[in-house]
Amino acid sequence: MECLGACDYAPALLVNETLVGAASQESIAASLGQGDIPDFRSRRDPVAQGYETTRILTRHFNEERLAELPVYRSLGGYQGLEKALSLSRIELIEEVKKSNLRGLGGAGFPTGMKWATVPADGKVPGPRYVVANADESEPGCFKDRVLIERSPHQLLEGLLIAAYAIGAKDAFVFIRGEYGIQYRVLRKAVAEAEKAGLVGGNILGKEFSCRVRIMRGAGAYISGLDTALLESMEGKKAWPRQPPPFPTVAGLMGRPTVVNNVETLSMLPAIAFNGGEWFAKIGVPKCGGTAVYSVSGHVERPGVYEFPMGAPLRRILEAAGGVRDGKKLKAVIPGGASTPVLSSHEIDVSMDFEGLRGVGSFLGAGGVIVLDETVNMAEVAHNIERFLAHESCGQCTPCREGSEWTVRILERILAGRGVGGDLPNLQRIGENITGKVICALGDTVGVVTRGFMKKFPKDFERHG
């Protein structure tokens, strides 16, 4: 079993395909005994209400039945697509470039620039593809889950806009196997859109045709990495490819392919409708628009919060109600489990790609994990490393061996059997992994523990 993408309902479990949130001994017993499984969605996601902020993706989240096509259309849905189809592809890519939209799956690569690297039809004729990466699976990140569930047509509309921009006639959504409900929501949305002539041949009566297919992953963290995702789609073990060539040149079945994250694609309808400059103005230089943060851990109101790029972390934490039970804040992991930890006095950082890089961390996929004073950071490091070791695809040696080695040393330290030299050794192993592996997961393995040891050395030493 992989990450459930439900930190906001932690502790969570999956019973067949139904997610059970805030699980307790009683609810687990009940769900196993009677088959009457409580639907976790009865709890509403808090979405930063009443805060002075511009919301793009979540602005209609409180509408009942937003997932249904008539409701979505009544709120202006698919007007972005209509506008996009009135532009030429080059004009559309220019708008996206102007918007400073960055890849919100974690890497932060400028979306317009990515599209522009797809070779022109005249240069490389034949099919090209767009893939929506819905394989979110990093502990602390669940915003894509919510975006799909609440507003599947917004994703679909964005996917079609991207397909039009690069000339793809086939678009795919690669969704993780654990997202059962979301898969069904999305499938229903695609069926609705097909019926309404929004997916398929001559979309909106224009000379643009695109099919949309949904593929379910088998549950592996690494499948969320674009090249591993493509391998998985081709029916192979999800081992990352080592660029070059990049997917935009040789992706799915060797064809030019754009892989964009759910959140990134969901931004496109608004960008197409309002223009790139409008979007760019909302954020900070180099990072346009907003970002949807998944906030979880020791906060009063875990959930998704949309803020303009560059909002201080402190504001996001306040929106989520601050540290729960009146405890003191100890640390925040800003972008999902794999991003370097920040200590409590670093929360005035500007939450965007550049801002977090400035303090030695990453925005990642915006999974903000809040840790209060009771937490032992060696345990957190161990927990995350155990996750990464379990999810290491095993293709390249430093990650395959180094991640498990790290876990076993941490295990020994936590069991009180640490020996002299363990901490420098952990440091050294981390250094030897980072920068010497094929993909980002391996780099992360090396970074996580070093980050924790640097900022919270006492938590490690007291076990030694």
Q: Verify binding: residue 405, other proteins, rule CB under 8 A.
A: yes
CA distance 38 to 20: 7
Binding mask 240-259 for other proteins (x = CB under 8 A): --x-----------------
Between 119 and 219, CB nearer to other proteins: 219
Q: Verify binding: residue 294, other proteins, rule CB under 8 A.
A: no
Strand order in the sheet with 367-372: 303-308, 290-297, 367-372, 329-333, 342-343
Q: Verify binding: residue 367, other proteins, rule CB under 8 A.
A: no
Secondary structure in 3-state letters for 282-324: HCECCECCEEEEEEEECECCCEEEEEECCCEHHHHHHHCCCEH
Site for other proteins in 256-285 (CB under 8 A): none
Helix (H) or strand (E) holding 172: strand 170-175
Q: Verify binding: residue 421, other proteins, rule CB under 8 A.
A: yes
Q: Which stretch binds other proteins (CB under 8 A): 33-41, 268-276, 398-406, 452-460?
A: 398-406
Q: Verify binding: residue 404, other proteins, rule CB under 8 A.
A: yes
φ, ψ (nearest 5 deg) of residue 350: -80, 120
| Distance in Å, CB of 430 to other proteins, minimum | 11
| Distance in Å, CB of 428 to other proteins, minimum | 8
Q: Which of 195, 206, 328, 428 touches other proteins (CB under 8 A)?
A: 428
| Distance in Å, CB of 398 to other proteins, minimum | 5
CA distance 442 to 422: 20
Between 124 and 419, CB nearer to other proteins: 419
C-alpha torsion sign, points 61, 12, 143, 148 = negative
| Distance in Å, CB of 393 to other proteins, minimum | 5
Q: Verify binding: residue 425, other proteins, rule CB under 8 A.
A: yes
| C-alpha to C-alpha distances, 195 to 151, 156, 199, 266, nearest whole angstrom | 18, 14, 8, 21
Q: Which stretch binds other proteins (CB under 8 A): 31-39, 187-195, 400-408, 448-456?
A: 400-408
Between 67 and 407, CB nearer to other proteins: 407
| Distance in Å, CB of 238 to other proteins, minimum | 9
CA atoms within 13 A on the CB side of 289: 33
Q: Verify binding: residue 177, other proteins, rule CB under 8 A.
A: no
Q: Verify binding: residue 158, other proteins, rule CB under 8 A.
A: no
- Candidates 104, 80, 279, 263; CA nearest to 161 is 80
SS3 59: coil
Q: Verify binding: residue 401, other proteins, rule CB under 8 A.
A: yes
In this structure, are residues 201 and 189 in contact, taking their beta carbons and an 8 Å threshold? Answer: no
Q: Verify binding: residue 352, other proteins, rule CB under 8 A.
A: no
Between 148 and 437, CB nearer to other proteins: 437
Secondary structure in 3-state letters for 398-419: HHHHHHHHHHHHHHHHHCCCCC
Let me know the angle formed at the C-alpha of 252 by 270 and 434, rounded to the nearest 5 degrees: 85
Q: Which stretch binds other proteins (CB under 8 A): 85-93, 139-147, 178-186, 417-425?
A: 417-425
Q: Which stretch binds other proteins (CB under 8 A): 108-116, 157-165, 280-288, 383-391?
A: 383-391
| Distance in Å, CB of 357 to other proteins, minimum | 14
SS3 87: coil
In this structure, are residues 118 and 248 in contact, taking their beta carbons and an 8 Å threshold? Answer: yes
Q: Which of 365, 437, 440, 453 touches other proteins (CB under 8 A)?
A: 437
Beta partners for 172? 131, 213
Binding residues for other proteins, per CB under 8 A?
220, 222, 237, 242, 389-398, 400-405, 408-409, 412, 419, 421, 425, 428, 432-433, 435-438
